[in-house]
Amino acid sequence: EMGRECAERIVSAAERMDTLVNDLLVYSRLGHTNLSLAPVSLQEVVLDTVGQLQQEIRAKGAVIEIADSLPTVRGHALTLTQSLINLVSNGLKFVRPEVTPTIRVWTETSDGWATLFVQDNGIGIAAEHLSRIFRVFERLHGSERYPGTGLGLAIVRKGAERMGGQSGVESTPGQGSRFWIKLPLA
């Protein structure tokens, strides 16, 4: 019994380390790789993201609402997909246990820019922490309660900047968060 518990802890630690190394590689590549910007269909990126997260979405019984028509932006498809995976995953993860995760995805366009919104009904973020959450290894909660590496939102911020855009968040504790990525229309 004790040997099995030790083995389970070792496997769990190895899985966390694998996730951390992968996130570090993604973040590092964003800083050193030339991104070839091209027209990217947000509709395709969002549907691909939801497809990749289907197992987690089903396990949580989550509701994902996607706007009917999302525009094409100038960006980098893989970077956008990774950013959206991080935002949707957070929406699935940072909810109270008794709440069914609901995530809405839509865009607004203005003056040649598209702003992609990902809104959740999670635990929210206090105003005093909003400026910190996009930093590397910045975590507001212990990994025992909400797993993660503390790199997801840093990847979102760095990716948006490398594509010539911006990112941000609006949030109310206990009511959820609305993250956004602003990129030029193609």
Q: Judge whether residue 134 has pLDDT over 80.
A: no
Q: Judge whether residue 142 has pLDDT over 50.
A: no
More confident residue, 25 or 146: 25
The predicted structure's pLDDT at residue 96: 87
For residue 52, CA distances in Å to 56, 58, 75, 89 come to 9, 12, 20, 10
Instruction: Kindly report, residue by residue over 26-72, the tens digit of the pLDDT.
Output: 656 666 677 788 999 999 999 999 998 999 999 999 999 999 999 99
Cα 14 to its chain centre, rounded Å, is 22
Q: Judge whether residue 143 has pLDDT over 60.
A: no
Q: Judge whether residue 139 has pLDDT over 60.
A: no
The residue among 2, 1, 9 whose CA lies nearest residue 144 is 9
Map residue 116 onto helix, strand or coil.
Answer: strand
> How large a percentage of the chain has pLDDT more than 90?
44
The residue among 181, 175, 158 whose CA lies nearest residue 87 is 181
The predicted structure's pLDDT at residue 27: 54
Mean per-residue pLDDT for 173-183? Answer: 93
Predicted confidence band of residue 9 (pLDDT cuts 50, 70, 90): confident
**H or E stretch including 56?**
helix 54-60
The predicted structure's pLDDT at residue 146: 47
The predicted structure's pLDDT at residue 35: 74
